[in-house]
Amino acid sequence: MLITRASEYAILSLIVLSSAKEPMDSETLSKELTISKSFLAKILQALAKEKILRSYKGVKGGFALNKTPIEIDMLTVMTCVEGKTPAVFECAPAESRCPSEKANICNIWPFLNKLQGKIDSFLAELTLADIID
Partner DNA sequence: CGAATCTAAAGCCATAATAGCCTCCTGATG
Partner DNA sequence: CATCAGGAGGCTATTATGGCTTTAGATTCG
Cα(51)–Cα(77) distance, integer angstroms: 10
Determine which residue in the list 2, 20, 64, 129 makes contact with its own copies, applying CB under 8 A: 2
Other beta carbons less than 10 A from residue 10's beta carbon:
23
Cα(56)–Cα(17) distance, integer angstroms: 14
Cα(69)–Cα(51) distance, integer angstroms: 13
Considering the rule CB under 7 A, would residue 66 count as an interface residue with DNA?
no
Say how many Å lie between the first and final Cα of the chain, rounded. 27
Site string for DNA, 92-131 (x = CB under 7 A): ----------------------------------------
Residue closer to DNA, measured from CB, 33 or 124 = 33
Segment contacting its own copies by CB under 8 A, of 44-52, 55-63, 103-111: 103-111
Considering the rule CB under 7 A, would residue 21 count as an interface residue with DNA?
no
| Residues within the interface to DNA (CB under 7 A) | 2, 4-6, 9, 23-27, 35-39, 41-42, 44-45, 48-49, 55-63, 85, 91
